A = this chain, B = another copy of it.
Amino acid sequence: MDKISQPKGTRDFGPAQMAKRSLIIDSIKKIFQRYGFQPLETPAMENLSTLQGKYGDEGDQLLFKILNSGDFLKNVNKQHLEAHNWKLITGDIAEKGLRYDLTVPFARYVVMNRHEITFPFKRYQIQPVWRADRPQRGRYREFYQCDADVVGTDSLVCEAEIILMIKDSFGVLGITDYSIKINHRGVLSAVAELLAASGKESSLFVAIDKLDKIGEEKVKEELIERGFESSSLPLLFEILTFHGNNQSKVEFLTQKFAASEKGKKGLTELTQVLELVKNFGADLAHVEFDISLARGLSYYTGCIFEVKINNVSVGSVGGGGRYDNLTAVFDSKEKSSGVGFSFGIDRLYDALEELNLFPPDAAASSTLLVAYLDNESFSYGLKIIRHLREQGIACEIYPDLTKVKKQMEYADRKKIPFVIVIGSDEVKSGLLSLKNMKTGEQHKLTHEQILDIVKK
């Protein structure tokens, strides 16, 4: 028999992982809802015409494509086939692909439903995406994205609410040491203007984005390779490495950007976002204006965000930003500006694991097992079980009559915290012996006393 496995880069989530993942997903979902975001789900498959050309050449190569059903060679170009030209054949034999992110399907949904949607439209979406990337530690071919976007408004309240949602999420998850980095594309454009590099903005942003990872020297090398004047670099790094609090950074740049409309607008908007957070009655702890934050994606036009958890190996666990026109890729006449944020569930999971922040009982196990000595106690146990379940307690009875020791082992291995053992004494007296599997304590109790204890 062949070795059985999942496809490379994909994972099963068993009960223990599911419990932890649900903890993260349910917490974030609840917060998104509290901020007025509504759920959306789109199909795993999209037409390739929807997906292709949206993620750059590299993205197109990483799309998983689905072979057409039936005789997929029917409409294939014979010359291409005989020439073994797989690139040219692909479009003939595959019309659909797997979702690569949640933004493009969202944009498609907005375009298709623009007459029914009430704008501003606040949607969240938590679903897997697929990328034919080379699998490696922390990088999977199937992974979850967790997006919240508002489209149909330019209001900076949305940016402020993104900051608050991140703070609330981390509060619920118990994460205390983190930074919400914020910058503005206008600030970056103004830096490009200062360097007389206005046409090469995206090269500049891509290089700056790596500052964290590869350091100043390597970024300088890359910029020179990409045709930047080495004389302009000292000014660039003076700006990028300026130290100070948010206020002093704004003041420093206000001077530098005296002649740049884009720069001034960016600084004004950043300042307003931070003001709005305070107007909500929240503080600005963890919020850091980071001039070197660039984020590669070219469709951002306003504020950009990135969230990092400190002192863990995973680094960034989310990011987002404002875009001018979400649906531009589909040629929509309607202008749909908005702002979005995305949490990386897998990275959050790894961070919480590393910080030991999952509660020890997050195992999605039953709260109680009914063990029994004979058939009569078994029948008695069934009624107990039903009573407990009616009260909302997750519980189970060992299905086969076997030694109590084996039933106890089952509870132990499944980390079920309480066991009731029923024998003829218990059936007669109605008093049940409840064992706490952690402490080993055992007490004879009434049904109601047991209910009180396990409900906690």
Contact = CB atoms under 8 A, between A and B. Distances in A.
How many copies of the polypeptide does the oligomer hold? 2
A120 interface: yes
Contacts of A282: 386
A397 interface: yes
Nearest to A38: B15
B34 A142 contact: no
Given A33-B364, A382-B279, A399-B150, A43 B109 contact: no
Contacts of A98: 44, 66
Given A41-B12, A82-B82, A399-B150, A383 B279 contact: yes
A42 interface: yes
Contacts of A113: 12, 14
A81 interface: yes
A7 B366 CA distance: 41
Given A40-B13, A64-B66, A365-B38, A399 B157 contact: yes
A94 interface: yes
Contacts of A379: 279
Given A7-B43, A158-B399, 8 more contacts: A2-B49, A10-B45, A14-B40, A18-B38, A153-B399, A279-B382, A281-B382, A281-B383
Interface of A: 1-2, 4-7, 10-15, 18-19, 22, 33-36, 38-47, 49-50, 61-62, 64-67, 69-74, 81-82, 84, 86, 89-90, 93-96, 98, 108-109, 111-113, 118, 120, 122-123, 128, 130, 132, 141-142, 150, 153-155, 157-158, 164, 168, 276, 279-282, 330-331, 364-366, 379, 382-383, 385-387, 389, 392-397, 399-400, 410, 413-414
